[in-house]
Structure 1
């Protein structure tokens, strides 16, 4: 066997070994962007029937597409790209995955070390290019048959690294020399019965019982807050019931339920200064990430400034998010085991105590609900707030909303107002960007299942930012519904201080950024099924069509930025008045 044949055989056998080991570890989904240098790994992946392979032309889109799949399933997804700038295209998705705690296996094909630093084409320093946006970087070098005994261990370590403690992205840099292919691949022998080569993990403990007793005290007025990534909705509602505490759930938490302790409109309630005083608790317990509501954040800061209030944060591994430095007790632990212990301990001390404190929250919630229903649901035209409310009310727990950062996620949080059968909500809130939203939606929709409907809710700029992801084989895009609020620019900036501090012309040029495009014509022009949606009846028809169909449907909702701003201001003012009036008359 010649030297070149030995080298090519090492490439193929190395890749076949890694792919087989990743399948043993649990890998099911792979996203590939085409390229030459990644050939050995691409061939090894498509050869395995156990893997569902998705092809995306643009590497940046591939990263977010994989992010969507991994967010939906909780299982690591592999992304394969070729060498050069293709690797750099993964940085946005890697950054979101790191801060959003999403497990990704980033496989970056590379040229061999002998071609580095001498001006070889499509060759750059790839190790470290993703910087601090990946948890680990593995760089095993050009495959060597003499080191084949380490291949499966490498695969196991890389895969488990995406899941350990706080999930996130891991880069495996794969250097291949030519010839890239030489005959059939011969993987190394794995463990018997399809078992992984090694099992790695970290076992989290449970906090001391005395600490838990001091926090979860049924004799105290307390608030339970569910942030994104908590995934403990059922246990949280049971705990709220035993303690007699209100439950404030971010839509991303999955904790919104029909439980009577759930406060639907906490953001609108807490906009009232009187409410934030009347509702000051003695205990604040937050599970998961920091909620997106700034109003809730201000309320928590006020709580933390009172020395009699204990603010506690719990997380399932990783860093306790505390950007405002308000958490007094922060514990990273096994949430399931901890809650089992807390429920048992609290259950011995409480019998479904219904506190006056909880009653205040519930009464204010009903007062706000009435105002929102009157001012939004009875409107003749379809507003951005109305779209969010209709999605929440018409979708069920088997469905999913992939919601963009900026205004869509806020409208869903502030005004969805549904308790029973709330759909799952997914959003890229790790870094809160609007880039890659369409690709993320497509990834979620790709694994959505035939009985569920995945709906993407985003603005016009988020659509245009990631529009290319819709142009690659549009007829093969997954079933789902994409709703676009077209207000001709960046609506959220109208809510910020820049709106009043900058002249109108300058504001529109730099912040408002009207695109001036006919989105419907553009969408139809690339072969997509798109229609204008002007009222609630048309939206319901579109939702039904998307649910019954087998392809991607797109709806464009025309809105006006100034009118949207005025509606939000009116709702905020009306709700605060209702809250203040009830407090003044009752308390």
Structure 2
């Protein structure tokens, strides 16, 4: 069965032709033609998620994991605005998200009709493309005002003219839909297709009335211009201090042989983050651990001649502060699409994938520059690791010790989704199991959709997905659990320190009523009743013994997803973290 409306048929057929398989639908009436079409076609995997904000992040999680466009479908009105946080995240994280919003016809907008807002170009500051489709001409009431039409000589002439208008509208809509989806696939980002429907909305037919044209993406293999490579060779071969800093990066996107080759160059150090998904014994994977204790003289010694960056946004504030103060002579960013001037010294945007650049560049590097850069900082790193382990032995039960235990417990080859704020920052301080694939919403770094994203990611793969989050982030997105698609092997670990613990390490007047209420937002809520309501197994821990016991069986197979809530003493967490960096000195 198909929706009767040709425009709905056109959207659905083109989504199918473009391989958009996952469709996340939120209930509504105006989007009924799309819902009918998607849910009656076995090609599509359709999901019903009531809360549009959760639905959009759920879709984002699928697209983040698969790197393929995923569609969200909503009714008209404020429903569409609830997509905005996820759209912004997709925009800054280069995730292909396709927003399909149903709308009322133009003549019903701005007259006080219900569930109606100005939907045209609503995401214009955070979208790669906005397609505003045209309403089908189904009868005379949809015809433009008579003054916009020529005078018809007879009735036959009138119908020929209307037929021509409909053909023009159909062609326009096909081209706009093709363009939007192609851009999302090619440039990896969000697009918005706004689709007006007039009533009746629920009529169905057994045969398609339109056969839309599929416009393929023009494939053009990108090449790095020879003069750019030549300039890079000259600078590289003369620099004795070269730093490579990697942000958010898809797993297995860089060939291991290039990582090995970089590690053998004494003039190169490679700094990675938990979200970089790159591993090598010689790489520096806990940046803050390295940077925080440095004296001013040591910082000057670490200052690179050349900085190469690739991947998404950087978590570490300390490396940002360092590189803004001690700027490299040159900053090259490797990315097919964008280059952020994060450190205010960008002078070379190399439009290629990192793997493509290293494939064309490294084999032609003529010689290694004699340098102690790598050796010196490798020795510093080893000293940091020794002090890190010593400090851990002295600690009481706290956020720090909990993250240490949790991160060591995650089974091999799992997907690790990490919430924002303190969760990702604690994760950055530890060596992770290199078989894990790590994801975090670092585009906008918000806490608003972390749980929904993690569940979407879990749905998109068969591996076990483990989600680590803080209490505020979890409670903020608790509607994420309101769906029927959470896999049985999905695991949530909530580190509950009764508020926004990260604010306690920032400058401010702690332990006052004002701070507790408006910054830390102190609370006594737990996830126990939410787990019961949504049918998840629940276990809690409040000390080392309970945590060890809970983790012993937490990842085992079961009939329901599981939540482990770990309660830590908020009064000491901030001091332990601040003392950690002092101790590294």
TMscore range, shorter length: 0.7 to 0.9
Match in the other structure for 2:156: none
SS at match of 1:482: strand
Would the aligned equivalents of 2:547 and 2:566 in 1 still touch at CA under 8 Å? no
Matched, 1:461 2:472: yes
Partners of 2:370 and 2:235 lie apart in 1 by 18
Deviation at 1:26, TM superposition (A): 2.1
Partners of 2:533 and 2:412 lie apart in 1 by 34
Deviation at 1:219, TM superposition (A): 5.7
CA 1:519/1:242 → structure 2, altered by over 3 Å: closer, same or farther? same
Would the aligned equivalents of 1:218 and 1:243 in 2 still touch at CA under 8 Å? no
Partners of 1:521 and 1:354 lie apart in 2 by 62
Match in the other structure for 2:149: none
Q: What pairs up with 1:250-269 in 2 under 5 angstroms?
A: 250-255=273-278, 257=279, 259-269=280-290
Would the aligned equivalents of 2:177 and 2:193 in 1 still touch at CA under 8 Å? no
Deviation at 1:341, TM superposition (A): 1.0
Matched, 1:446 2:465: no
Runs of 4+ in 1 over 6 A off after TM superposition: none
Matched, 1:198 2:216: yes
Matched, 1:81 2:105: no
Match in the other structure for 1:249: 272
Matched, 1:289 2:312: yes
Q: What pairs up with 1:269-308 in 2 under 5 angstroms?
A: 269-274=290-295, 275-304=298-327
Partners of 2:223 and 2:412 lie apart in 1 by 31
Partners of 1:521 and 1:58 lie apart in 2 by 20
CA 1:427/1:148 → structure 2, altered by over 3 Å: closer, same or farther? same
Matched, 1:366 2:382: yes
Which residue, 343, 365, 384 being the options, matches 2:399?
Answer: 384
Partners of 1:230 and 1:481 lie apart in 2 by 22
Would the aligned equivalents of 1:10 and 1:143 in 2 still touch at CA under 8 Å? no
- Say which one has the larger Rg: 2
CA 1:185/1:142 → structure 2, altered by over 3 Å: closer, same or farther? farther
Deviations for 1:118-171, whole angstroms, at most 9, x for unmatched residues?
Answer: 211112211122231222111112134534345544332111121333x22111
Deviation at 1:563, TM superposition (A): 1.2
Matched, 1:24 2:45: no
Tell me whether 522-531 or 462-471 shows the greater mean CA deviation.
522-531
Deviation at 1:311, TM superposition (A): 3.2
Match in the other structure for 2:518: 510
Would the aligned equivalents of 2:20 and 2:69 in 1 still touch at CA under 8 Å? yes
Partners of 1:530 and 1:329 lie apart in 2 by 51
Deviation at 1:556, TM superposition (A): 0.5
Which residue, 461, 481, 487 being the options, matches 1:470?
Answer: 481
Deviation at 1:48, TM superposition (A): 2.0
Would the aligned equivalents of 1:63 and 1:90 in 2 still touch at CA under 8 Å? yes
SS at match of 1:246: strand
Deviations for 1:338-358, whole angstroms, at most 9, x for unmatched residues?
Answer: 221112112x424xx895321
Match in the other structure for 1:416: 430
Matched, 1:101 2:110: no
Partners of 1:92 and 1:35 lie apart in 2 by 20
SS at match of 1:238: helix
SS at match of 2:237: coil
Would the aligned equivalents of 1:227 and 1:287 in 2 still touch at CA under 8 Å? yes
Q: What pairs up with 1:527-566 in 2 under 5 angstroms?
A: 527-533=535-541, 534-535=543-544, 538=547, 541-542=550-551, 544-549=553-558, 551-566=560-575
Match in the other structure for 1:169: 190
SS at match of 2:555: helix
Matched, 1:316 2:335: yes
TM normalised by structure 2 equals 0.86
Partners of 1:541 and 1:507 lie apart in 2 by 33
Would the aligned equivalents of 1:493 and 1:499 in 2 still touch at CA under 8 Å? no
Partners of 1:311 and 1:550 lie apart in 2 by 55
Deviation at 1:54, TM superposition (A): 1.4
Partners of 1:249 and 1:550 lie apart in 2 by 37
Match in the other structure for 2:443: 430
Partners of 1:425 and 1:480 lie apart in 2 by 15
Matched, 1:63 2:49: no
CA 1:148/1:290 → structure 2, altered by over 3 Å: closer, same or farther? closer
Matched, 1:329 2:348: yes
Would the aligned equivalents of 1:72 and 1:444 in 2 still touch at CA under 8 Å? yes
SS at match of 1:328: strand
Partners of 1:330 and 1:40 lie apart in 2 by 45
SS at match of 1:61: helix
Deviations for 1:439-496, whole angstroms, at most 9, x for unmatched residues?
Answer: 11111111131xx2211111111111111221444x8555311111111111111111
Partners of 1:220 and 1:269 lie apart in 2 by 20
CA 1:325/1:200 → structure 2, altered by over 3 Å: closer, same or farther? same
Deviation at 1:20, TM superposition (A): 2.5
Would the aligned equivalents of 1:70 and 1:77 in 2 still touch at CA under 8 Å? yes
Match in the other structure for 1:156: 178
Deviation at 1:396, TM superposition (A): 5.7
Would the aligned equivalents of 1:157 and 1:200 in 2 still touch at CA under 8 Å? no
CA 1:222/1:497 → structure 2, altered by over 3 Å: closer, same or farther? same
Deviation at 1:10, TM superposition (A): 8.2
SS at match of 1:21: helix
Match in the other structure for 2:500: 490
TM normalised by structure 1 equals 0.86
Deviation at 1:73, TM superposition (A): 1.0
Unmatched tracts of structure 2, length 5 or more: 138-165
Deviations for 1:211-233, whole angstroms, at most 9, x for unmatched residues?
Answer: 22134337622121111147644
Paired residues, what number?
A: 547
